[in-house]
Chain A
Amino acid sequence: QVRLQESGPGLVKPSETLSLTCSFSGGSISSYYWTWIRQSPGKGLEWLAYIHVSGVTNYNPSFKSRVTISLDTSGSQFSLKLSSVTDADTAVYYCASIFWSGHPFIESWGQGTRVTVSS
């Protein structure tokens, strides 16, 4: 099973860009879709985006053009950028792997990283 670990700043100022990286191991990069999900008390679990090594990406329209996901195929990492953050973006951010065997599900999750938006 894939192991994942998030890294990045725990504090971001309003209007700035939140940048997180996920390092993964134990699975083939092409066997999964790589995704970001966040969790906050107010909004619960929210799916942000996913990416596949084939180049396929999919974004949650709720975040409009604020979100960018990218995959480093050589370094076993993928990243999230969320621009123009507000306090509503304060949440625990998880990176995860989607296993797509006809019925996709989120097979493995990182431990999560808490990000606070505050000046």
Chain B
Amino acid sequence: DIQMTQSPSSLPASVGDRVTITCRASEYVSSYLNWYQQKPGKAPKVLIFAASKLLSGVPSRFSGSGSGTDFTLTISSLQPEDFATYYCHQSYSTPYTFGQGTRLEIK
């Protein structure tokens, strides 16, 4: 199975900050990398697919980059509603696998 490792596991930040979350795959996944946001008690919601494509309706402060094994999710200016847990997900090969999550918390 392809292992997905996110860093950091938790990230204290303030409104207005620029934050970056990293996801590393244990094997090559090309650009088959997706990012999800999950709030407590809710299902995850896709933000970015194919490493860098923003889903329609997702604010432009979110961006993704990377290819191969190393990927990043960047939020350019944190808003109060962005405090949540973020997961990366590889859809290059089955079994699909997810990162362990990065919890974005209020500093």
Residue of A nearest to B36 (CB): A106
Contacts of B87 in A (CB 8 A): 44-45
Whether A109 contacts B43 in the complex (CB less than 8 A), given A44-B98, A44-B100, A47-B97, comes out as: yes
Interface size on B, residues (CB 8 A): 24
Q: Is B44 an interface residue (CB 8 A)?
A: yes
**Do B32 and A104 have beta carbons less than 8 Å apart?**
yes
Report whether B43 and A104 are in contact in the complex, using a CB–CB cutoff of 8 Å.
Answer: no
Do the beta carbons of A105 and B95 come within 8 Å of each other?
Answer: no
Count of inter-chain pairs, beta carbons less than 8 A: 55
How many A residues, CB 8 Å from partner? 21
New A-B pairs, 19, CB < 8 Å, besides A62-B95, A103-B53, A106-B89: A44-B87, A44-B101, A45-B44, A45-B89, A47-B98, A58-B94, A60-B96, A96-B43, A98-B91, A103-B32, A103-B34, A103-B49, A103-B91, A105-B34, A105-B91, A106-B44, A109-B43, A109-B45, A111-B43
Interface residues of B (CB under 8 A from A): 1, 31-32, 34, 36, 42-46, 49-50, 53, 87, 89, 91, 94-101
